[in-house]
Structure 1
Amino acid sequence: MIGSEFQVSRIMSVVALNGQGQIVHSLPYPNSLRTIRITANQTNGLFTLMEGTIQVGEGMQLHIHNREDETFCVQEGQIQFRLNNDTFFASKGDCIFAAKRSLMAFRNKNTTGTRVLFFFTPGGIEEYFYKASPYFAQQPPNTNVTDKFAEDYGMELFGMPIWDDAESATKTLVKHID
C-alpha cells in the first residue's frame, strides 16, 4: 500500500553556478585549494562534489576511504594515479572510480592547469575538509592534526608512494564494463 508502507523523500534540486561553493585547503601544499560545490546536506547525504586545480608537484599520499567511494573526472591536464596495485596516468576526459577500501594516491607530475572533479558517495567528507582546511593553510601545515581528522572520518593514511614513472608511461587507462 503506497503511502503507508513507503516514505517518499524528496531531494531538492541544486544548481551550483560556476565560481560558487566553499573554498578549502585540501592538502599540505601552498595553494592546494578545492571548492566544495555540492554538499551532503544539499543531496540528502547521497554525494559530495568538489573541484579544484591540482598544482604541479601536488599529490595525495596513499590512503583508503573506509566510508565512501571516490570518483575522479579529469577536466584538464593529466594526473598520475596509484589505485591498488596499478599505476597509470589519466588525462582530460578520463574518469576513475575508486571503491571504498581501495588503496589510492595521486599526483600532478608536470602538467600545468590540471583540473579535477571529485565525487564522494555517500556525501559527508566535506566536513573533514572544513575541519582540516585551517591546519593545511598554516605554514608549515599541521599534519598531526589533519591526520587525526582523517582518521575520525574513516580514512587510513600510509605516506607518499614511490612512483614508478616507467610503469605508468606504458599503461593506458583500462575501462572495465561488467
Structure 2
Amino acid sequence: MPPGQGSSGTLGSIGVDFKLWGRDTGGAVSIVEHPFPVGALVRPHLHTREDEYSIVTEGEIGFRSGDREAVLGAGGYITKPRDELHAMWNAGAVPARMIEVISPAGFENFFHELSELLLSVSQPEVSEIAELAGQYGLQFGQPDWLPDAIARYNLTPLPE
C-alpha cells in the first residue's frame, strides 16, 4: 500500500484510513490509521474478539487501558488487550495520528460499516450503533475516570 492510498471514512470523533484488510493478511491482522482532530475522544470500549496495538505517528495521543494511562508522542507504542476497557484522545493542541494493528483481523469491517452508516444518516439511532457493535463483540463503558480526562485534556464531551 503506497503512502496516501487506501479508502478513508469517519467514525464520528476520529477518522479511519484503511491500509490492510484481513483478506490481505489471511485473517492474521488488519491495519488502519486514525487521524485525531484536536479535542477528539474515542468512547471507552472493549473488544471481546481481538487485541489492538497502537503506534503514534503524529502529535500526542492519550490512552487509558484498564488502569494504565499514558500520553504518547510520535514513536510511542501501547497494547490494548481484548476484554480490557480502553479509550483514546488527542492529548495535544495539534492534530494527531496513529496506526492501529488489529489481531486477528475482522474488526476493520466494523469501522467500514460504521463509516457507511454515518455517511448515510447524519445522526444514527443509538440502537443502530449498539446493534452493529454487538455483531462485532464490541461493548461500551462509562468509567468514573472519564469526566476527569475530559476536563484535563479539554476534550469534546461525548453525546449521551
TM-score (norm 2): 0.84
Equivalent residue for 2:25, pick from 43, 55, 64: 43
Shift of 1:60: 1.1
Structure 1 residues 23, 162: closer, same or farther in 2, change over 3 A? same
- Structure 2 partner of 1:139: 122
Q: Kindly indicate whether the alpha-carbon contact (under 8 Å) linking 2:16 and 2:111 is maintained by their aligned counterparts in 1.
A: no
Equivalent residue for 2:37, pick from 17, 41, 55: 55
Shift of 1:98: 1.1
1:79-115 CA-to-partner distances (Å, cap 9, x unmatched) read 1111101222111110001111111001113331211
Structure of greater Rg: 1
* Secondary structure class of the residue paired with 1:74: strand
CA distance in 1, matches of 2:130, 2:43: 11
What count of residue pairs does the alignment treat as equivalent? 150
* Secondary structure class of the residue paired with 1:163: helix
CA distance in 2, matches of 1:89, 1:143: 30
Q: Kindly indicate whether the alpha-carbon contact (under 8 Å) linking 2:59 and 2:92 is maintained by their aligned counterparts in 1.
A: no
1:136-159 CA-to-partner distances (Å, cap 9, x unmatched) read 334335443122211110111114
* Secondary structure class of the residue paired with 2:141: strand
CA distance in 1, matches of 2:99, 2:93: 16
- Structure 1 partner of 2:134: 151
TM-score (norm 1): 0.76
Shift of 1:44: 0.3
CA distance in 2, matches of 1:45, 1:68: 12
1:34 is the counterpart of 2:34: no
Shift of 1:62: 1.0
CA distance in 1, matches of 2:51, 2:37: 23
1:20-40 CA-to-partner distances (Å, cap 9, x unmatched) read 2121222x23xx321110000
Question: Where do 5+ consecutive residues of structure 1 fail to align?
Answer: 1-15, 169-178
Give me the CA root mean square deviation.
Answer: 2.2
* Secondary structure class of the residue paired with 1:127: helix
- Structure 1 partner of 2:157: none
Question: Where do 5+ consecutive residues of structure 2 fail to align?
Answer: 154-160
Q: Kindly indicate whether the alpha-carbon contact (under 8 Å) linking 2:35 and 2:96 is maintained by their aligned counterparts in 1.
A: yes
- Structure 2 partner of 1:13: none
